[in-house]
Amino acid sequence: MAPHRFVLALGLGVLALSGCTRVSSTTQLAPKQVVPETTISTPTAATAEPRRLERAQALLSRLNVRPRKPPAPPAAPPVYPEDLIAVGYASITAQPSTDVAQRRLMAARASRIDAYRNMAELVYGVTFGSESATDDNRLQNDVTRTRVTGRLQGVEVISIEPLGNDTYQTTLRLPGVEVVRLRNTTASR
């Protein structure tokens, strides 16, 4: 609807709700003057209320004017947790190879896998299982198992570097936005 029609409908609706039954306006144009003349008549108080509502509703329905809904308040920006940092370690001498260069490469890869496992623990948590066996009130066997499962996306490798002569360290970072997305994806399954 055009803005001038809306303003006209709103003005007429206000007049109808105020009890007016007739509105007329005339303008006389002379060479040097403009004289507006307006006449407004109102009914008696006893008959004004029902007629006023009917006329206002009829007027607004003819002009197809619907009250506007107030705009929704702006949504608060989402709050994300801080970025997660995970570190993994691996020993060079513990790798199963006779070639020193190959053991270094294997240790670098093992430290990266350890860092990913640590990141998955931070995002998804750890499942624990434990068994203990006793004989004559003495502990014979004690087994604890841990399990981590999850899918990691958006992880950034910060560094893979040697520590001393026998260890590799890998540092990973996962942005807080990705943490929320991964946790929500897991919760919806």
Q: What is the pLDDT of residues 65-92, one digit of tens each?
A: 666 677 888 888 777 778 999 999 999 9
In terms of phi and psi (left: phi > 0; alpha: psi -120 to 50; beta: otherwise), the region of 64 is left
CA distance readout (Å), 165 to 53, 135, 169? 91, 45, 12
Alpha-carbon gap, residue 22 to 52, rounded angstroms: 11
Q: Which residues contact 185 (CB under 8 A, 6 or more apart)?
A: none
Residue 48's pLDDT is 58
Residue 12 pLDDT > 70, yes or no? no
* % residues pLDDT > 90 (the chain): 28
Q: Per DSSP, what are the bridge partners of residue 22?
A: 41
Q: Which domains does the chain have, with CATH numbers?
A: 3-62 (no CATH), 84-127+142-187 (3.10.28)
* 3-class DSSP assignment, residue 108: helix
Residue 158's pLDDT is 94
The per-residue pLDDT for range 37-58, each reduced to its tens digit, is: 544 455 555 555 677 777 777 7
**CB contact at 8 A, 158 and 137:** no
Residue 58's pLDDT is 74
Residue 133's pLDDT is 86
Q: What DSSP string runs through 9-66?
A: HHHHHHHHHTT--EEEEEEEE-SS-EEEEEEEE---HHHHHHHHHHHHHHHHHHTT--
- For residue 69, count other CB atoms closer than 10 A to its CB: 6
Q: Which residues contact 101 (CB under 8 A, 6 or more apart)?
A: none
Residue 181's pLDDT is 86
Question: Residue range 150-155: average pLDDT?
Answer: 89
